[in-house]
Structure 1
Amino acid sequence: MNGLMKNFTGMKGMTDEVIASDLLLAAKSGVTFTAFALTEAATPELRSVLREQLMAAITAHNNISQYMMAKGYYHPYDFNQQIQADVTAAQTAQNLTK
């Protein structure tokens, strides 16, 4: 997001990493809730639709994860790097109100 748009929208502290992290969390929630709904579905037709939605949600989560790994925002295989990325993201979030 360019500087002018960040200032115009009031998101001057919002970074691509913060946006991607929020999107990843939302995608994970989508997978969780769709899987839960699938286990509660009463009809085969509904289960079929929810299975398709679950696969789409898993694919979205994977795509976001891959994007974040490619950008260096997400390090699922390196605990120390991920902790540092999480600390940086938390500090950025705290600074959004400043």
Structure 2
Amino acid sequence: MNRMIEYLTGMNVLTDQVIATDLLIAAKSGVRNYAMAVTETTSPEIRQTLIRQLDEAIDMHEQMVNYMIGKDWYHPWDAEEQLRLDLKNAETALNLH
């Protein structure tokens, strides 16, 4: 989309929010996958490598959560507000033709 049109329609912020949400989901998936892999390996060396990667994935998740909270795009402690925001974003997405 043209940057000027994105700015005028407010879609530039929504685009950033979509990218951040996608990255947060990927970070959550990474944490889950590394945690599972740690419990499945029998090699101490591989386990230590996976634990380091798990720690990095947790740090990435924390950074994304803090970034999105700071932008008012994510409300993990306020389910009602998060639901309101999710419904607003869904309505916006449905109105894009």
Closer/same/farther in 2, CA of residues 77 and 12 from structure 1, 3 Å limit: closer
Residue identity opposite 1:37 in structure 2: A
Give unmatched runs, 5+ long, in structure 2.
none
Higher relative contact order (CA 8 A, sep 6+): 1
Residue identity opposite 2:71 in structure 1: K
> How many positions carry a matched residue from both structures?
93
Q: Partner of 1:77: helix, strand, or coil?
A: coil
Q: How far has the Cα of 1:21 moved from its partner?
A: 0.7
Q: Give the alignment's Cα RMSD to 1 decimal.
A: 2.6
Structure 2 match to 1:78: 78
Q: How far has the Cα of 1:48 moved from its partner?
A: 0.1
Q: Which runs of 4+ in 1 moved over 6 A?
A: none
Percent identity between the two aligned chains = 48
In the alignment, the residues of structure 1 paired with residue 2 and residue 60 of structure 2 have an alpha-carbon distance, to the nearest angstrom, of 25
In the alignment, the residues of structure 1 paired with residue 93 and residue 34 of structure 2 have an alpha-carbon distance, to the nearest angstrom, of 28
Q: Partner of 2:82: helix, strand, or coil?
A: helix
Give unmatched runs, 5+ long, in structure 1.
none
In the alignment, the residues of structure 2 paired with residue 36 and residue 82 of structure 1 have an alpha-carbon distance, to the nearest angstrom, of 28
TM-score, normalization by structure 1: 0.80
Structure 1 match to 2:35: 35
TM-score, normalization by structure 2: 0.81
